[in-house]
Structure formats: C-alpha cells, structure tokens
Amino acid sequence: MDAIRWVQNRHMGTSVDNSSNRPVAGVIWMLVTGLNFVAVTAIVKYLGDDIPPAQSAFLRYVLGLVFLLPMIRSIRSAHLTKRQLGLFTLRGLTHAMAVILWFFAMTRIPLADLTAMNYLNPVYVTILAAIVLGEGLPPRRLAAVIVALLGALVILRPGMRAIEPGHIAMLGTAALFAVGYLTAKILSTEVPASVVVGMLNIIVTIALLPFALAVWVTPDLTDLMWLFLVACFATAGHFSMTFAFAAAPLTVTQPVTFLQLVWAVLLGAIVFGEPIDAMVIVGGTMILAAVSFITWREALARRQITPAVPDTKV
C-alpha cells in the first residue's frame, strides 16, 4: 500500500478500499475535520506563551487520556514483544518531539503558514518510504514531490522574507511525524489499530513529562479548560476524518482539505489580525495539489489492477 494513502487511513483503522460511495457525506465529514483541526491550532495560538510549548503539549495529552480508556483492554491483550515495544518507543519519542515543535510553531508563525506547511507531511512520508522501505517513486510521483517542495519554497521565500524559528520548527515537525508514521506502518501489520493509537498516546505522554517539568509553570483553571478543549477538538477531528474516509474515497475527500487553509487564513486575519499572504496560499495550493495528484494516481493504479467488486469484505 502506498505510504501517502496509508498515512491518511491506516493509523486510524480505515481503508480506502472499503469506502462506501457516499461522496456528499465524505465531503461534509472532511469539512468538519478541517474546522476541528483549525480550532486546535487557534486555541493553542490564543494561549500563546502563557504555558511553554512542551508543557502545553503534555497537558493536551494528559487531558486526552480519558478518550483512551476503551483501548486499555486491547493493549493488555496484545502481548507485545520486546521488538514491538522498541518500535512503539521509537515512534512515541519522535512523535513527542514533533508535537513540541508543532506547539512551538503555532505560537510563532501565522495560522496560514502553519496550515500550509503541515500539508508537507504526506510528502515527507512518500520520500522516506522510498528511501527506507523501498517503495516505488516513479517519475510522475517524483514530479509531484518536487512540486510540493517548490510549494514549500514559495511559502518560505528564503532571501525575500524573514524565516522565523516557527517555520524551521514546522519543517522538523513534518519530518519527525513522517518517521513516526513509517514506524507505525510496520506495527499496524502486527497489532490492531486501537493498540497503535493507544500506545502512541501513552508513550507520548510519558516522553513529554520531563520536558514539561523542566519548564513547568502552574496553569490556572482557565488554561486547563482551554487545553481540554484542544484534546476534545483533536479527538473529534480524528473521528470525523475516519467517518469521511469510510464514506468516500480519498480522491473525493483529499481536495476538501484545502479548505483548512481557507479557514486558517480567515481566522488569522479576523481574530489574530494576521496579514493575508497570497504567496502562502499559492505555496499551500501547490503542496496540496501535489498530494492530491499522488493520491489520484494511486487510486487509478489500484482500479486498473483490482477488479471492481462492490462492498468487498476483507
């Protein structure tokens, strides 16, 4: 399975092949997903430097552990091997560092920049999958990857604008998330999706603890309530994305993610007074177009190889 499609489906326990043909439902759920994730970014940006990024990330995961209670039984019955525990630890550590950088970036750069650069994540996964796992990178897919990287350059415009630490943090975030996703790709073939998700959240919480303690400031009740909302919106976003993938194939839902950039631009301008940067929109569009092209080509290739069987059960 192509790594870019797996990132958007497998770690949430869904499959493109099993999607029903309900495009309107898929589009609506993906719209809800975008609003949820933009809400996460906006709340963290609103909190700003009141709580250090490492501590904010830790509290978000601690408060979100309540949503993992149904997964405890699956984790206990998985009987994980030492090798699997090692892979889970590797994924948790890389994910924890990515989350710290992500929370840092959210308080340092405009919402539009952050959202546009976040589209790079599947591109990093595609590159690493080709290098580490030996997955194919044919000319058209390689061309799409190059277009996406050029889109990142359009956003950053080195030499023409100041590249903030938040921009560098987002580049690191996408790379670290890609490493974590590829590790999860290996684990997802060995254990249930609930175990993959549950172990990630548990290990990330533990990994973030020392970083949070190093910069700890006592949060007030209002801060805790805002961070609990972050956990709620993030969890809701993952669920709504799962429903979107179950309702319609990626070729339908993928382009809708562009609206996340629209919401981010509007929210940044209206709520935070951020100027609208046309080049960020252009660069983000290039990245998303490249990701959508790769997704479409993969779906086309699979239709040519696999006969169409309605409602195939796997």
Per-residue pLDDT tens digits for 45-71: 888 778 888 998 899 888 888 878 888
Determine the average pLDDT of the residues in 162-179: 88
Neighbours of 256 (CB within 10 A): 18
This prediction's pTM: 0.76
Nearest-CA neighbor of 4 among 155, 120, 172? 120
Q: In which band, very low, low, confident or very high, does the pLDDT at 42 lie, cut at 50, 70 and 90?
A: confident
Report the length, in residues, of the chain. Answer: 314
C-beta of residue 71 within 8 angstroms of C-beta of residue 13: no
C-alpha separations of 16 from 32, 112, 187 in Å? 19, 29, 19
The highest-confidence range among 64-68, 92-96, 121-125, 304-308, by mean pLDDT, is 92-96
- Measured CA to CA, the distance from residue 305 to residue 295 in angstroms comes to 16
Nearest-CA neighbor of 230 among 12, 46, 3? 46
- Quote the number of domains for the chain: 1
- Tokens 């179950």 found at: 246
151 lies in some domain: yes
Determine the average pLDDT of the residues in 120-148: 81
The highest-confidence range among 32-36, 41-45, 212-216, 287-291, by mean pLDDT, is 212-216
Q: Which long-range contacts (CB under 8 A, 24 or more apart) does 237-243 make?
A: 237/33, 237/36, 237/37, 237/40, 238/12, 240/29, 240/30, 240/32, 240/33, 240/36, 241/8, 241/12, 241/29, 241/30, 241/33, 242/12, 242/13, 242/14, 243/25, 243/29
34 lies in some domain: yes
State which residues form the domain around 13: 3-305
Q: In the predicted model, what is the mean pLDDT of the chain?
A: 80
Task: Spell out the residues 6+ positions from residue 201 whose beta carbon is closer than 8 angstroms to its own.
Answer: 61, 64, 65, 68
- Measured CA to CA, the distance from residue 200 to residue 82 in angstroms comes to 16
C-alpha separations of 286 from 119, 148, 178, 247, 255 in Å? 10, 6, 20, 26, 12
What per-residue confidence (pLDDT) applies to 20? 57
Q: What angle do CA 16, 21, 26 make, to 5 degrees?
A: 75
What per-residue confidence (pLDDT) applies to 208? 95
33 lies in some domain: yes
**Which tens digits make up the pLDDT trace of 294-308?**
777 666 665 544 333
310 lies in some domain: no
Of 195 and 214, which is predicted with more confidence? 214
312 lies in some domain: no
Q: Residue 223 class from Cβ within 10 Å (0-12 exposed, 13-18 middle, 19+ buried)?
A: middle
C-beta of residue 146 within 8 angstroms of C-beta of residue 281: no
Of 299 and 32, which is predicted with more confidence? 32
C-beta of residue 188 within 8 angstroms of C-beta of residue 11: yes
314 lies in some domain: no
What per-residue confidence (pLDDT) applies to 18? 46
What per-residue confidence (pLDDT) applies to 124? 84
**Which tens digits make up the pLDDT trace of 240-298?**
877 887 777 766 776 777 788 888 888 888 888 888 888 999 998 898 888 888 777 66
Nearest-CA neighbor of 298 among 66, 16, 82, 14? 16
15-34 core/surface letters (b: 16 or more CB in 10 A; e: else): ebeebeeeeebbbbbbbbbb
197 lies in some domain: yes
Determine the average pLDDT of the residues in 147-171: 88
Q: In which band, very low, low, confident or very high, does the pLDDT at 5 lie, cut at 50, 70 and 90?
A: very low
Q: For 14-28, 118-132, 145-159, which range has the lowest pLDDT when averaged over its residues?
A: 14-28
- Measured CA to CA, the distance from residue 13 to residue 253 in angstroms comes to 17
313 lies in some domain: no
- Measured CA to CA, the distance from residue 65 to residue 211 in angstroms comes to 18
